[in-house]
Chains A and B, each alone.
Chain A
Amino acid sequence: MKRTCLLLSVLALASPAAAQDPPSLSIRPFVMGAEQNFTAADTFEAVFDTTRGPFFGGGVQVVVFDQFVVELGASRFKQTGERVFRTSTGSVFRLGIPLTATITPFEVTGGYRFPMWERVRPYVAAGVGSFAYQETSDFADPTTENIDTRKTGFVLNGGAEVRLHRWIGAAADVQYSRVRGILGSGGLSQQVGENDLGGVAVRFKLIVGR
């Protein structure tokens, strides 16, 4: 995180690139990597031995007058852990039965870019997401014991975009997501009382376009 801030600061202070006048409408594809800290910490810790996980994806941004932005993005988290038994005192026993969870969010956000500096645009955004969730495990009855569902959640994010080149930008932000209706009605998440599949993610984007 410190390195990222340092990098952004250096880039912000660098000499301006040529032809900085932004277009009134810009369509910009991007790729993204994120590390999310899940709200359902006890659940993820038990199954995956960590409360965090990576998302990879991409999307497209539509920027109007260099200030207003609409972003459509998709990403995916996929991780394999083990089914577990957790005692009422919190001890976790892994049972050696592989379990794979896949989360695929499709998000639409709208936001505002603050024209504070020439090469750096802080921004905030909010939106909704459709979160697909699949959970499979060995020895499961595929029709009744695996999960393939989709629920809607909302997202909030804020960060800054830095121009690296006339056609290339980089952005880093922090996104909060909240997704109800997937966790909490069964399995370990129900046992520990966690019902939010969202979390707080640090995201990095590489953006192509002005």
Chain B
Amino acid sequence: MRVFRARFPWIATFVAAGLVLTLRAQTLKQQRLEVVNIGLPAVDLGLRFDQMRGPDGDDSSRRQAILASLQPAAAAARPAATRVLVKFIEGLPAAARLSAVADVSRRAVMATAPEYADFDIVQVGANEDAEAVAQAFSERSDVEYAQVAHTFHKLLVPNDPLYLTSQWNLPMLNLERAWDIQPQAGSTITVAVLDSGMAYQNATFTPTLPPFRDENGRLYPGLGRVTIPYAAAPQLVGAAGAGRLVALHDFIWDDNEPFDFDGHGTHVSGTIGQLTNDSVGTAGVAFGVKLMPVKVIDSVWDFLFGAPNEGTDDTVARGIRYAADNNAKIINMSIGRTGPPAPAVESAIRYAVSRGVFITIAAGNEFEDGNPTEVLAEIASRVQGAVSVAAVDRARAHAFYSSTGSYVEISAPGGSGRGFGTAGGVFQQTFVPTFTDTFLLPPAQFRAPRFDILDYVPYQGTSMASPHVAGVAAMLMQQGITDPAAIEEALEKTAVDLGSPGRDDTFGFGLVDARAALRGLGLAK
């Protein structure tokens, strides 16, 4: 059963709960997490068609990989149309056809007659206007029709089954036509996801779970030493294993194993780079990117497992600098806080942007809770090269939770269950909450979590909006806009204006239009 929930309120609740735990935090944090990097693969509760999908095999992967590697060069070298298809009248002798070609153009050459065609192919001369040649043929009495052989583009509509049924959010960004322009979808770009980690590897954990009290003072029993299975998200990591993941790091545990014990980071990562067009599950925005999971926020389980660090300003600032120093080109931060300024984080953001990194930051989910200013998002609004991202629902309206203010710069789909039910959420593969959030059960039913059961779970929040923009930014950078400030300007100038004309405090400059941003401008259009 899919449970539709806003994630941040729960996290906030249990971080707060940590403050009233009867057992002292120091006691918990003396533990170290024992991990064996061996585990069974995920139990995927989502849709699967692997038994009947030939194209899903290795051959298909190779075809796509080779095509993707060839397409950039092909696009750059693509010549103007040079072939004209000519249908001569039935029975016209070969000599007469050659004579007709010579009449029309001295530089044109008749190519070998192709199979399965009722027309001849005429190769026009260098610098010759193929349209004019086709027109000249058309005007002849011995020609039925003539046309230039124009190039077709594949119209990529991902075959991931949930893309068609549930992912209203991606077409909203005009992504299908953006993928036509860039089928590689960011393959040379590394996107750092500063979040709760990522389900990147199969493993088994053997922590000792101590007793604790929840926010209401209820005592949860200690479970002692438990074995917890953990699995990589198959649609995130894929058959390439860790090949698409680079420079993983965990600032909560101070190691290079950023296991996600929440599901938030895995979901966010999926929106950016979920494997796409593989006939399984959902699609991602920039499905070709390399992902750099950098864990900078902790979850309830990190706390209970005894993580030495928390997701505080210093952790986040270090994470930003780490990503910038390890060649990330885009950083997504679906995280935030209110309260006093964060100069350490601002310094890190400015450092990263100065290193050529574009940063997307969630604008906040507290519109109905006093609408306080989100500190990180407000920083983004003052840094050209970082953007704060508000959320819209599937009707392109303001998502009920999305914070507003002068710092909101742009909008993207964040999902909303209000009025839409689960269909209004943003779907990606992540842990099934009923197996992970066992601390939400009554104490008598409390049990160890399982991090090996995954499904396509609807989330809502500006946390979900931000990675959409990060994905589009990755594609923009691959397309040639290499300066973070220019990426921000391109996103804002090409956005679809929503709300009041021009920039406003609800939608910023409007809804991101991936295709318009990627396509840029011509001389007159």
Q: Which residues of A contact B (CB under 8 A)?
A: 40, 43-44, 47, 78, 80, 83-88, 91, 93-101, 133, 135, 137-139, 145-147, 182-191
Contact = CB atoms under 8 A, between A and B. Distances in A.
Contacts of A87: 483, 485-486, 489
30 contacts: A80-B80, A85-B490, A85-B520, A85-B521, A87-B489, A91-B483, A91-B486, A93-B481, A94-B480, A95-B480, A95-B481, A96-B75, A96-B479, A96-B480, A99-B522, A100-B80, A135-B524, A135-B525, A137-B522, A138-B78, A138-B153, A147-B525, A183-B523, A184-B524, A187-B522, A187-B523, A187-B524, A188-B522, A188-B523, A189-B524
Contacts of A47: 522-523
A185 B524 contact: yes
B177 A95 contact: no
Interface string B28-72: 000000000000000000000000000000000000000000001
Contacts of B525: 135, 145-147, 186-187
Residue with the highest number of chain A CB atoms closer than 10 Å, among B153, B480, B490, B523: B523
Given A47-B523, A83-B522, A139-B519, 9 more contacts: A40-B523, A43-B523, A85-B481, A85-B490, A93-B486, A93-B520, A94-B480, A97-B520, A146-B525
B519 A83 contact: yes
Nearest to B494: A85
Contacts of A191: 521
Interface in B471-525: 479-483, 485-486, 489-490, 517-525
Contacts of A94: 480
B181 interface: yes
A182 to B, nearest CB: 6
B151 interface: yes
Contact of A101 (B181, B489, B523): B523
Nearest to A188: B521
Range of interface residues on chain B? 20 to 34
B129 interface: yes
Q: Can you list the 3 inter-chain pairs with the closest CB atoms, starting with the nearest?
A: A188-B521, A83-B520, A85-B520
A101 B521 CA distance: 13
A98 to B, nearest CB: 6
B519 A97 contact: yes
A99 B78 CA distance: 11
B520 A95 contact: yes
B126 interface: no
Contacts of A44: 523
B129 A84 contact: no
B524 A147 contact: yes
Select the residue from B153, B177, B490 with max chain A CB neighbours within 10 A: B490
Contact of A93 (B72, B153, B181, B482): B482
B124 to A, nearest CB: 14
Nearest to B477: A93
B483 A93 contact: yes
Nearest to B521: A188
B180 interface: yes
Contact of B479 (A78, A95, A182): A95
A80 B485 CA distance: 28
A137 B517 CA distance: 15
Contacts of A84: 520-521
B488 to A, nearest CB: 10
B240 interface: no
A95 B519 contact: yes
Interface in B454-482: 479-482
